[in-house]
Chain A
Amino acid sequence: MEIMTPFKFFRVVFSLSLQSPVDGKPMLLTPEESIQIQNRIGADIIMALDDVVKTTTKGPRIEEAMYRTLRWIDRDLCVKGLVERNLPGYAIGGLAGGEDKDSFWRVVAQCTASLPEDKPRYVMGVGYPLDIVVCSALGADMYDCVYPTRTARFGTALVPEGVLKLKHKAMADDIRPVDPTCECMVCKNYTRAYIHCLVTKDAMGSQLLSYHNLYYMLKLSRDLHSSIVRGQFPQFVCQFLQKMFPEGDVPEWVCNAMEVAGIDISSCCAPFPMSHDEHQTIYESKWVA
């Protein structure tokens, strides 16, 4: 089993200032301690500590962060006693902090373009199914995100059309499964109506939706992988986008990213795509009847 160890970063000194997940008190973490802890809990993949700045930051702070991160990696390598110059993989961090989508995909594209082809690229904190499809098109390999389980606890299910808000009154007498195309235990046994009466009130509601959402994400990964292996990745992307945007209103940032990735999605885009703002409103209020 793989355990990845993400941390939440706040400010930076010689070590990292973090918030303890147990009592919320601030604590300091040095690069050496970070590696030690990750080794002790038996992680298969461990991350070097990085100095995180917001993608929107400009100016000398970025350079400072870059050099500091490099110094920390050198310290980590010394600590581990490795002499290798090559690192086994790379993580792209500092995203998923609420930056706009246009910046987000450009940063990912830039990183994947400059990182070695034969090492895994892990985009930390991503994310929404659409973001994962786009990043995969741009050459990313691994992801982690709390989104599927967190959104489940709020009563939201992930479905091919986007999201389904089980809390909504209309769900109370809807006897279809959450996702009729899904083969998971929850979709095979339970109705939207029953889950509706559980969500946000009973722990079991969170469990059932978390189960489905995780199954959905794992299936998405598997489908992305197998479509690439079969040489049908662009078709898969088109099918994915068609289900999510049946009116052809694929967001502009997705179109731009796919263009850079070299994936032709013209068959799923409406002739006159809407502006970014118009699309945001529809995407956020979308639920499936």
Chain B
Amino acid sequence: MKFRVKAWSKTGRSRVGELELGSCPHTFETPALLLSTRKGLPHFISPQLLPSLPSPDSFLLQCNPLHFIEGIPFETVSRIGGLHDMLGLREYALAAAPRDSDVCIPESNSSNKFGASFETPSGRHLIKPIEYMKMISSTKPDLWTTLADEVPAWVSQKRNRTSVDRTVKWLDECIGQNVTGGAVFGSIVGGSSIEERQRCAQEIARRNVSGYWIGGFGLGESMEQRPALLHAVVTNLPEEKPRQIFGLSLPEEVLQGISAGVDLFDSTYIYDLTIGGLALTFPVNGTEPHPSDYQLNDNVSDFTKINLKATIYRKDESPILDSCNCYTCQNHTKAYINHLLNVHEMLAQTLLEIHNTHHYLALFRTIREAIKGDRFEEFKHKFIQGRREASVL
């Protein structure tokens, strides 16, 4: 793995970096979004449609090895040659973490000193470091995060302290397995305690890792608590190594993370929107006019996204967004997608996932340009103001 910071913001901690991973031929600019997958492939965009997504941004995928438990034996994954061969994605960069918010959810009450517990579609599983490393060595991702004991924001001080101790211990056990290939990111927890966050970051910073995975967010803390917690973590990490975070979904949350100095974002936001029949419509560069349907009520549009199941779109022959050049907006109308949703056709989700992915990647690109032009804090302020104003109308 190679990472270097290319541009710094003069105010705040946001930065633009360049990331190369494994044998993937692409160089990724950060801050970047990792596209979420189910068992390694997008939820609805079939492999032959992937090249229609923006390049190289769409070549960076998240993959959770726990998705394969009780689906395919890990020995079989090894025999096939690992994830890249199994998924037919040899030119893609795959980043593995055991956490996602819709399929493998940390079950902190059942975690113990031996391993982390997760609720999965095949039941609850206790994953020990040694088992986790077997998964990593057979899947061979380009980047992987160490096993963490993530806890929700409301746990006791004692439980929180324990989670930090365990996470550090498991990191040592994971690295100790000496699995070669793939960049290792050390996991940092600490819940909603500034001291524990600091302590954990300092411990992990001492270890020989290529980057950092900031876990434990998206588990009950409020948006107001987050900046201080992120600050406590990032200020204790070396500047030159990349930081990845899970669970910051909304644009406002992503902007918060970027302000704090996070480089890689992994969330199921696009999937959640897609299965809800929602399409992103917010202006990406902050200076575009808002979509002009101010009269619409909450069920239909909140000026950042539209609900294509709503009956007002039944005869709407315009694309989701006139200015969008994704496959969906270039070829289909809101009326058609509304119809597909009504008759329960899977094509609706495919078209929505394409558009939402396009749109969100465009936001990240705009953010990077703003940082390079040293306009990030201004951009962030305008963007958030714009969304607040639009929702007041």
Contacts and interface: CB of A to CB of B under 8 A. Distances in A.
A203 interface: yes
A198 B346 CA distance: 16
Contact of B43 (A22, A188, A189, A202): A202
A185 interface: yes
Contacts of B343: 21-22
B88 A197 contact: no
B87 A204 contact: no
B42 A204 contact: yes
B47 A193 contact: no
Interface size bucket, B side?
20 to 34
A286 interface: no
Contact of A172 (B43, B72, B80, B342): B72
B41 A172 contact: no
A271 B71 CA distance: 44
B41 A173 contact: no
A211 B72 contact: no
B79 interface: yes
B170 interface: no
Nearest to B46: A207
Given A22-B342, A206-B346, A193 B76 contact: yes
Interface string B35-55: 000110111101110000000
B47 A189 contact: yes
A183 B80 CA distance: 19
Given A21-B343, A22-B343, A198-B39, A175 B76 contact: yes
A203 B351 CA distance: 14
A185 B47 contact: yes
Contacts of B349: 203
A203 B271 CA distance: 13
B79 A204 contact: no
Contacts of A165: none
A172 B88 contact: no
B86 A191 contact: yes
A188 B18 CA distance: 33
B80 A175 contact: yes
A77 B60 CA distance: 58
A204 B46 contact: yes
Contacts of B121: 201
Interface size bucket, A side?
20 to 34
A198 B88 CA distance: 15
Contacts of B342: 22
**Chain A interface, DSSP helix/strand/loop, else mixed:** helix
Given A22-B343, A190-B88, A191-B86, A197 B47 contact: no
B42 A173 contact: no
B87 A194 contact: yes
Nearest to A208: B46
Nearest to A184: B48
Contacts of A21: 343
A196 B44 contact: no
B239 interface: no
B41 A204 contact: yes
Contacts of B42: 204
Contacts of B346: 203, 206-207
Nearest to A23: B342
A137 B42 CA distance: 42
B43 A173 contact: no
Interface string B83-108: 00011100000000000000000000
A185 B76 contact: no
Nearest to A194: B86
A204 B76 contact: no
B73 interface: yes
Interface in B346-376: 346, 349-350
Given A189-B88, A196-B72, A204-B42, 13 more contacts: A21-B343, A172-B72, A173-B79, A188-B88, A189-B47, A191-B80, A193-B76, A193-B80, A194-B86, A203-B346, A204-B43, A206-B346, A211-B46
What 4 A-B pairs have minimum CB-CB distances, sorted nearest first? A197-B71, A189-B88, A197-B72, A173-B76
Interface of A: 21-22, 172-173, 175, 185, 188-191, 193-194, 196-198, 201-204, 206-208, 211
14 contacts: A173-B72, A173-B73, A185-B47, A185-B48, A188-B88, A189-B47, A189-B88, A191-B86, A194-B72, A201-B121, A203-B346, A204-B39, A204-B41, A204-B42
